Each structure stands twice: as C-alpha cells, then as structure tokens.
A and B are shown apart, each in its own frame.
Chain A
Amino acid sequence: MKRLFEIRTLRVTFYVLLFIALAFATFTTAFAQDTTPTDDEVNAIAKQLYCPVCENTPLDVCPTEACRQWRELIRQQLAEGKTEEEIKQYFVANYGARVLSEPPRTGFNWLVYILPPVFILAGAFFLFRSFREWTKPRAVEAGTGAETEAGASVSEDDYIARLEEELKKRK
C-alpha cells in the first residue's frame, strides 16, 4: 500500500515537472518573438548597403552617427515585419541606388555584370591563340635563299598533292 502511494506521488511529481518544463518552453518562445531584432539580423542587411555619406564603407562597419541611425532604422523596419527586400527598396527610394553594395540588374548596370566575363574570355582566347602560335613555328626550307614564304607554301602544296596522288595509285 505504501509502495503504491510512493509510485503515485512519483508519477504526480513527474507530471508536474513536465508541465512546468513545457510551460517555461512556451513562455520562452513567446518572449523570443517579442524581442527586437538582434545586431546580427540588422548587420545581415546592413552589410548589403553602403554609407551614402562616407563612400565605400559598408553600413555594418561604418562608425558615423548617420550610419548608426540607419542601422537603427533597419532594426525598426525588421521589428515592423518588413522583409530584407522591402528594407533595401526603402533605402534605394530615399538615398538612391548608390547605397546598394551590388548595383541593381537593370539598364546600363548590366554592363558591370556582362563586360568583365566577356573581357576575361576574350583575353583567354587571345592568350591561347598566341601561345599556340609561339609553340608551333613553321619551318621553311629556303632552297636558293631567295624563296619566299609564299613560295614555300606552294612547294609544300605540290609535295602534298604528289603524295596524295601516289597514295591513290597504291590503293
């Protein structure tokens, strides 16, 4: 009888502890949803933007008062539930496209994305072509010393023609 009582007590204690643990987890989750966005969340967007005052400085590392205000603005907009894209659009509308770390892929901006690969490919092609030329020099036998390059080509063609003729005969 006593043992049965102990088992019941133990079971009740277990359920009470389980309830407390679940309740705590639920409250913790609810509390997390209410917090303001963290610095990491703010900086994830800030590093995609540049300070419009001190140029070439990403917003996440810029120490000026203006940048501090803009980081707070990002935090405020994140807390309002705005998406990353909406926040970036807000910055473009207010301060211009120059605040974006990557130029928007429209109009002339496409040149920034297209031209470098085109030039790299063209450069690689010409390098390849030049190296091939350098490694395959054409040996020309100058019979009389006055034979021209064109002459060499003609004699070579004659030789190939004769060779092909001989091969045909042997078939």
Chain B
Amino acid sequence: MTETTTSKRSVPLWIQIFIWGLLVGLLALVGFGLNRASNPMAEVGKPVPNFDLVYYEGYEHNGVAEMKLSDLRGKVVLVNIWASWCKPCEQEAPELEQAWQLYKDSGDVVFVGVDYVDTPEGAFGYLKKFSITFPNAPDLESNISSILNRQMGVPETYLIDREGVLKQIKIGPFASVEEIQAFIASAE
C-alpha cells in the first residue's frame, strides 16, 4: 500500500521575528502619529494649550506684532475664527466690531480674529469691508484652529477666561451684540 502525504515546511524563525517586529513597529508608529496629531487640544473647562500669533499688519494688539496666547493671561480673550470666503462670517462681522468698541477701552477683554485658510488679499478686503479694528492674525499652517479643536467650520468663537481656561464655544455666527455680550459675561 502506498500513501502520499504533503510535508509542510514552516517559515524560518528569523522571518517570523522580522514580520512580527515590523507589525509591532508599524502599530507603534501609527499610535505615536495619532497621539501627536490629537494632542494638545482645547476642551471646555480645561486650560487652552499655548499658541503663537503673528498679527496682520495694521491689526496688531497694542502695537505688538507677534505674541503668545499666554501673554494675554489675566484678560478675557475672545477668539473668533473666520475667513473671507465664508458667507456666515459676514453676518456677524459688524456685530463683532460693535461689541469690540464696547470693550476695547477697558483693556479687560481682548478680541482676536483668526483668519482660517485665506489669502492675504481676501483677508484685508474683508477686514476693510467690515471696518474691523480688533487684532487679527492669519492661522498659519492651521495651527491655531487645530489647537482650538475647530469642530464644524467657520465661523467659530472661543471664549478663554483670565486663567487661560476655555469657557465656551460658539459654533456659527452671532445674531446680535447682546448675544456677544452674554457670551463674554459667562467668563466673568
């Protein structure tokens, strides 16, 4: 009687070790990348990670062209993210400027406009069109909007209290100056 069987040669040990090492290394890299991409981000009730601002020429804060968020510690900071191509942003632009006029002299509240993925020409056109006077800076490399964890699009407004803690987020445009005032009051 003749019996035919198929012999199975196993994969050499060094190849097995190499493949498992490669997979573990790849998973570690993906984990590291995800961790780096998702951190740091602002959350309501927690301190906002620091970020840099390079203001547009003519829209500096107290004549200072570059500053960090931490430089504004001790003040209530309203960060409004906008873009010149964003139609809903136009709805709230006049109200924001009117509200700024109410607070600018107190020195207690600072408005910071952050221009999200925009062209300088479009940005300056928008600022002039709505006679904006409060400090404004471009969101270079989208760093600021990624730290503030931009959720839906533009406009979005973030309120940071005197201790640097994120108090509130407003998604979409403000309807009135009163709404902006109530928003700011929540940080007091």
Q: Interface of A with B (CB < 8 Å)?
A: 52-53, 64-66, 69-70, 72-73, 76, 92-98, 108, 111, 115, 122, 133, 137-142, 145, 149
Contacts and interface: CB of A to CB of B under 8 A. Distances in A.
Contacts of B122: 69
Given A69-B85, A94-B138, A140 B29 contact: no
A93 B1 CA distance: 78
Interface string B39-60: 0000000000000000000000
Interface residues of B, number: 26
Contact of A52 (B6, B26, B142): B142
13 contacts: A53-B85, A64-B85, A69-B122, A72-B119, A76-B121, A94-B140, A94-B141, A95-B141, A96-B143, A122-B19, A140-B7, A142-B1, A145-B1
A140 B1 CA distance: 11
Contact of A108 (B9, B33, B119): B33
A138 B29 contact: no
Majority secondary structure of chain B interface residues (helix, strand, loop or mixed): loop
Contacts of B7: 137-138, 140, 149
Contacts of A138: 5-7
B4 interface: yes
Given A92-B141, A94-B140, 8 more contacts: A52-B142, A73-B119, A76-B121, A93-B140, A95-B141, A96-B143, A137-B4, A140-B4
Contacts of B4: 137, 139-140
A69 B2 contact: no
A79 B49 CA distance: 40
Contacts of A139: 4
Nearest to B18: A122
